[in-house]
Amino acid sequence: MPTIDDVAKAAGVSASTVSYVLSGKRSISAPTRRRVEQAISTLGYRPHAGARALASSRTNVIGLMAPLRSGVDVSVIMQFVTGVVTRARDVDHDVLLLTQDDTGGIERVAAGSMVDAIVVMDVEADDTRLPVLRTLRQPTVLIGLPHEPAGLSCVDLDWEAAGRLAARRLADDGHRDVALIGSPPEVLDRRTSYAERVVRGFRGAAAEDGLTPVVVPCEPTPDGARRALDAALGEGPRGDGPGARSDRPTGLVVHNERALPHVLAGLAERGLDVPGDVGVIAICPGDVAVSQRLPLTSIDIPGELIGGVAVDMVMARLEGGQPAESRLIAPELTQRASTTPRVA
Amino acid sequence: MPTIDDVAKAAGVSASTVSYVLSGKRSISAPTRRRVEQAISTLGYRPHAGARALASSRTNVIGLMAPLRSGVDVSVIMQFVTGVVTRARDVDHDVLLLTQDDTGGIERVAAGSMVDAIVVMDVEADDTRLPVLRTLRQPTVLIGLPHEPAGLSCVDLDWEAAGRLAARRLADDGHRDVALIGSPPEVLDRRTSYAERVVRGFRGAAAEDGLTPVVVPCEPTPDGARRALDAALGEGPRGDGPGARSDRPTGLVVHNERALPHVLAGLAERGLDVPGDVGVIAICPGDVAVSQRLPLTSIDIPGELIGGVAVDMVMARLEGGQPAESRLIAPELTQRASTTPRVA
DNA sequence: ATGAAAGCGCTAACAT
DNA sequence: ATGTTAGCGCTTTCAT
């Protein structure tokens, strides 16, 4: 492996000049630059990452903590990961992947100066990792919004707005009784940031619009989906007597990728037509919305976009020394075949 | 950040002693070791990864190339990735994730000494990355089996055996006409290693057992699955006349996670009972086999296991200087509700 | 069983 | 516009 000195020798310049043509941190005359570049390519020179990190305190590596927690759809995780990796490469960085959800991994790579910055996924409301993150030298950005983001940058879809948007659209379509088939119980129990925010938004909009909402967590299995559908559609007595329940929901929001196909199958089994009898809005990645038995009206989860923004934010703090900030991406609803205004 | 000298000072020893208690490369008296460990923990010392890499030519990082190619199920990819990361941590290594499928990324991290070893996923029969991989200083292991593995270690499920096993099981169950609903056309066109090997095994066993096989690639969409099912079940004339076709297949092998639910839905729509009218064997991760509308007889894709083995193999070459080798994991079939012996 | 010292390959002052 | 030089923090001979 040739070193910077080999290149310098070959180009007839000093090592620092080679370093500077590489970094662009000072101006180099055209002829010198060419000789250096020539030498670099004929020798096939690559700077040694460790030496560089040691001398410059910069690794050009971003740490990405992507815990694979149960109940979280991996394809959604992968979208975020892809966004992070892709954008990182755009700004000349690589990504070190951590999948354990303990705080130890982060400390290790941060204290060991393996990374310049850290992106953390799957954030919980009172995430236990936050105190550690705040002590790190490296800037951190969370994908998700904890209760106390103080000192940490955050970026996420505005899930609460997504919940509102879904409920409101059902209201606009003429639905009065609506249900949210939400994240798996375990995800909600963990107080995963996005899961509870959707519920809050959905409930809030329902209250404001005078809707009767039902919210049911849902295991991401065929049985779980069936049970959730039972609960959502209300199998009990209704509409008569003092303890009268509201009518069967006609509008359904599904925030659960894995359960989605089973929910649709369940509706079909009951002979309920979508969108005729029941309107369905999915909150999921666009590609899963369109690859169901019928194309679903949906609110997209722009994972790649958000992953990319996370990198931009962390780089801004790294380069510009910007203070921490939070960014919520506005949700967008795409009308497809699973909803239609109700004729009432 | 405290350095090794700070620790040495605090413990009243030399820096090399600290280094040696950390590496265990020479014996240290109990009292000295204790004073050093004490100093390390009170100072919160962590060796600087770059300095270490520079001095030792070891990064303790494994590069993982996991291209996210279209048509490949991300949840399957994630299983492999998880296996790699988990096992890497067991042997005190971290993982640098590359998702671009160009060869540039590998060269960069290898030549830049960012990684000690490389694991490459999604290997094609005549993979264009192989020549580059063979030139690297770092040992490489492929997850997949190219035509010319010479000089490179490989590990994978024995997909050909999986294809055989599925066909043979259908034969044993009394099926004569069988179909394989395979990977997406794009995956096959790319000559993705696993996709064609399954086909070969399936065809081979069918020939030996006197089965009439049909093989149809399948887009991982509802429509694609429907079309594939049309093709597989043969919509044309049959059983009479000179150009007589064979009978409608009664045994189906599905090697396509995304299409699976739609294939099952398609069968149901046609009024075909599983396993009564059609036996179905899926080649997919165990968890997707059991989360369909009925639990499927399946051949598991042990992604985590294989990812872990890949790491073990690459470490063996790194530490032991072992020569390259190939390892194929024997497939296992788990009987569930989607197959049953034919009464016929 | 421990220390001293020479690098590992690069960057970034400090020169000119 | 370019060269000189002093580290960055560690590992690992070579000594004792």
CATH class of A4-56: mainly alpha
Quickly state the pLDDT bin for B60 (edges 50, 70, 90): very high
For residue A309, give how far its alpha carbon lies from the nearest alpha carbon of chain B (Å): 18
Residue closest to A307 by CA, chosen among A76, A106, A113, A12:
A76
pLDDT for res A322: 84
pLDDT of B44 above 90: yes
* Domains B61-158+303-329 and B159-301 are alike in CATH topology: yes
Residue B262 — left, alpha, or beta (φ > 0 → left; ψ -120 to 50 → alpha)? Answer: alpha
Residue closest to A52 by CA, chosen among A116, A6, A98:
A116
Q: B249 preceded by cis ω (within 30°)?
A: no
Asked if A82 is an interface residue toward chain B (Cβ–Cβ < 8 A), one would say yes
- Going from the C-alpha of A106 to that of each of A117, B26, B84, B94, the distances in angstroms are 10, 30, 18, 11
| Two structure tokens written together for A149 | 């983001």
pLDDT of B240 above 60: no
Q: What are the tens digits of pLDDT across the range B111-148?
A: 999 999 999 999 999 999 999 999 999 999 999 999 99
Q: Report yes or no: A50 and B113 within 8 Å, Cβ to Cβ.
A: yes
**From the list B46, B89, B109, which residue is nearest A112 (CB)?**
B46
pLDDT for res A244: 44
Lowest mean pLDDT among A165-174, A256-265, B239-248, B306-315: B239-248
pLDDT of B190 above 50: yes
- What's the whole-number mean pLDDT along residues B87-114? 95
pLDDT of B244 above 70: no
pLDDT for res A344: 63
Q: Report yes or no: A284 and A257 within 8 Å, Cβ to Cβ.
A: yes
Q: How far apart are CA B79 and CA B195, in angstroms?
A: 17
Residues listed for chain B: 344
Check if residue B48 sits with its Cβ under 7 angstroms from strand D. Answer: yes
> What are the structural domain ranges in chain A?
4-56, 61-158+303-329, 159-301
Residue closest to A68 by CA, chosen among B310, B81, B95:
B81
- CATH superfamily, with its number, for domain A159-301: Response regulator (3.40.50.2300)
pLDDT for res A320: 82
Quickly state the pLDDT bin for B102 (edges 50, 70, 90): confident
pLDDT for res B320: 82
Q: Which residues on B lie below 8 Å from A104 (Cβ)?
A: none
Query: DSSP E strands: which ranges in chain A?
Result: 61-65, 94-98, 117-120, 140-143, 153-157, 177-181, 212-216, 251-254, 279-284, 297-300, 326-329, 333-334
| pTM of the predicted model as reported, rounded to 2 decimal places | 0.94
Quickly state the pLDDT bin for B322 (edges 50, 70, 90): confident
- CATH superfamily, with its number, for domain A61-158+303-329: Response regulator (3.40.50.2300)
Mutation pick from B7, B43, B54 vs chain A, by most beta carbons of A within 10 Å, is B54
pLDDT < 50 positions in chain A: 236-244
pLDDT for res A235: 63
Q: How far apart are CA A211 and CA A208, in angstroms?
A: 8
Q: Report yes or no: B260 and B292 within 8 Å, Cβ to Cβ.
A: yes
- What's the whole-number mean pLDDT along residues B106-110? 96
Check if residue B67 sits with its Cβ under 7 angstroms from strand D. Answer: no
Give phi and psi for B54, each to the nearest 5.
-65, -45
